[in-house]
Amino acid sequence: MPQADEIINCEGDYVSPGLIDVHTHGGGGGSFLEPDYSQFQTALKAHLSHGTTTILPTALGRSAEEISAMAGLWRRLSKERGLPFVPGLFMEGPYTSSEQAAQGAGSGMKLKKRVMEETQWRTLWEAAQGSVIRWMAAPELPGAMEFGRFLKERGVRVCMGHSMADYDTAMEAQNNGYSCVVHLFTTMSTVTRTNGFRHGGLVEAGLLCDDLDVELICDGCHLPPELIRLAVKCKGYDRILLVSDSGPFAGTDAAGEQEMMGMKIIIEDGVAKMPDRSCFAGSIACADTLVRTCAVKTGIPLWAAVRMASKNPARYLGLQGKKGEIAVGADADLIIFDNDIHVKAVYLAGEEVRRNG
């Protein structure tokens, strides 16, 4: 049995694997939406203080130049000590579709592209220089199946989201490399009727297909407890990834009118909203809030909430055995939190890098 180098008295608090967020656009006032090194550092430090030890900065993939700049930031950040592990980047765009799917923050950022031209997405892929390990597209777009197969062959996790795909199209996508549904229930298709006949959508595909992982934004605002429980009933505790989908104001006390990438938003009631308050513009949560919401508001066991925010995303990213668990041979990314799931200490590779309070 290995001998401990140090014994830490947690004084009745919980010890957990470090949390993993595979979908976040920023935090602490810093943004992952622009290739700015200082902002990346700020956002990473903010999420670290809330227990996130592995993170995928999420950008929008709007141009080859922007993606190339993001790749350069990723290479620099991967060499820094004392920050969350960043295995790569997530591109949530630019291939979204429909008026519904491009509403909210997506509408202000002009994400919508209705055709996936191979010459264009190959250019974007080459600009990424291996930094992008996760990419989202609406599977109903022309060219989406070729995109999925191309990326899967290169080890990228391909996701469906911001989509009006019907059930059959989603299942076809699953057979062409797509393995996850981004923020289930949010900006996506559900049951529709054509000539009187009902058809399932992307929501139903995510719930029913055992081979698809699904994200849930469990910030206490995007989804009510009953939809979280429905997802758990359909998917179990092993195929759900808790994500923040947070904007730059996550982990801050910002309130009222704010600006995000030149777009006006309002922060109130624990969430970011569009100015007309018709829909949300991202969350202001960090990963500890996701665990707290599941464990306190939905009746999900605490161990299961932690699993969905640590072991599941580690498995999804191919990091099982190293991240997301407490085990001999794992990386000793650990957090300590109290009964209210407030993070008190954070460890990276067994070294304390943050103590709160």
Q: Is residue 47 within 8 Å of residue 250, measured between CB atoms?
A: yes
Q: What would the 3-class secondary structure string for the chain be? A: CCCCCCCCCCCCCEEEECEEEEEECEECCEECCCCCHHHHHHHHHHHHHCCEEEEEEEECCCCHHHHHHHHHHHHHHCCCCCCCECCCEEECCCCECCCCCCCCHHHHCCCECCCCCHHHHHHHHHHHCCCEEEEEECCCCCCHHHHHHHHHHCCCEEEECCECCEHHHHHHHHCCCEEEECCCCCCECCCEEECCEEECEHHHHHHHCCCCEEEEECCCCCCCHHHHHHHHHHHCCCCEEEECCECCCCCCCCCEEEEECCEEEEEECCEEECCCCCCEEEECCCHHHHHHHHHHHCCCCHHHHHHHCCHHHHHHCCCCCCCCCCCCCCCCCEEEECCCCCEEEEEECCEEEEECC
Report whether the peptide linkage leading into residue 142 is cis, meaning its omega lies within 30 degrees of zero: no
Residues 117, 112: Cα–Cα separation, whole Å: 14
Q: Is the pLDDT of residue 103 over 70?
A: no
Rg, Å, the chain Cα set: 19
Residue 338 designated active-site: no
Residue 258 is which amino acid? Q
Query: Which of 3-12, 296-305, 306-315, 317-326 has the least mean pLDDT?
Result: 3-12
CA 144 from centroid of its chain's CA atoms? 21
When pLDDT is averaged across residues 324-331 and rounded to a whole number, the result is: 96
pLDDT at 1: 60
Mean pLDDT, to the nearest integer, of 223-233? 98
Per-residue pLDDT, averaged over 209-217, amounts to: 98
Per-residue confidence band for 110, with pLDDT thresholds at 50, 70 and 90? low
**Banded pLDDT at 5 (limits 50, 70, 90):** confident
- pLDDT, residue 243, reads 98
The whole-number pLDDT of residue 107 equals: 52
Q: Find the mean pLDDT for residues 106-132.
A: 82
Looking at the DSSP bridge assignments, the partners of residue 31 are: 26
Question: 3 falls in which pLDDT band (50, 70, 90)?
Answer: confident
Estimate to the nearest angstrom the gap between the alpha carbon of 21 and the chain centroid: 5
How many beta carbons lie within 10 A of that of residue 182, not counting itself? Answer: 29
pTM of the shown model: 0.96
Give the pLDDT score at 261. 81
Q: What is the pLDDT of residue 111?
A: 54
Domains assigned to the chain = 14-355 (3.20.20.140)
Q: Give yes or no for residue 264 having a pLDDT over 70.
A: yes
Mean pLDDT of the residues in the chain: 94
pLDDT at 97 (0 to 100):
82
pLDDT of residue 294: 98
Contact 202, 211 (CB under 8 A): no
pLDDT of residue 100: 56
Check whether 351 has a pLDDT greater than 90. Answer: yes
- Which of 47-56, 109-118, 216-225, 244-253 comes out lowest in average pLDDT? 109-118
Six-digit token string for 177: 């490399």
Q: Is 92 annotated as a binding residue?
A: yes
206: left (phi over 0), alpha (psi -120 to 50) or beta: alpha
**What pLDDT score was predicted for residue 6?**
83
The answer on whether 162 is annotated among ligand-binding residues is: yes
At a CB cut-off of 8 Å and minimum separation 6, what does 327 contact? 321
First-to-last alpha carbon distance for the chain, in angstroms, is 34
pLDDT above 80 (res 109): no
Active-site annotation holder among 21, 213, 219, 245: 245
User: Can you tell me the mean pLDDT for 90-102?
Assistant: 79
Give the pLDDT confidence score for residue 2 in this predicted structure: 67
**What is the average pLDDT across 151-174?**
97
Q: What is the mean pLDDT of residues 285-309?
A: 97
Q: Quote the pLDDT of residue 79.
A: 87
Q: What is the mean pLDDT of residues 40-60?
A: 97
pLDDT band at 99 (very low <50, low <70, confident <90, very high): low
228, pLDDT greater than 60: yes
Q: Cα(245)–Cα(284) distance, rounded to whole angstroms? A: 8
pLDDT at 106 over 80: no
Torsion of CA 59, 62, 67, 70, to 10 degrees: -40
Q: Which residue has the tokens 């203080």?
A: 49
- What pLDDT does 115 receive? 82
Is the pLDDT at 206 greater than 90? The verdict is yes
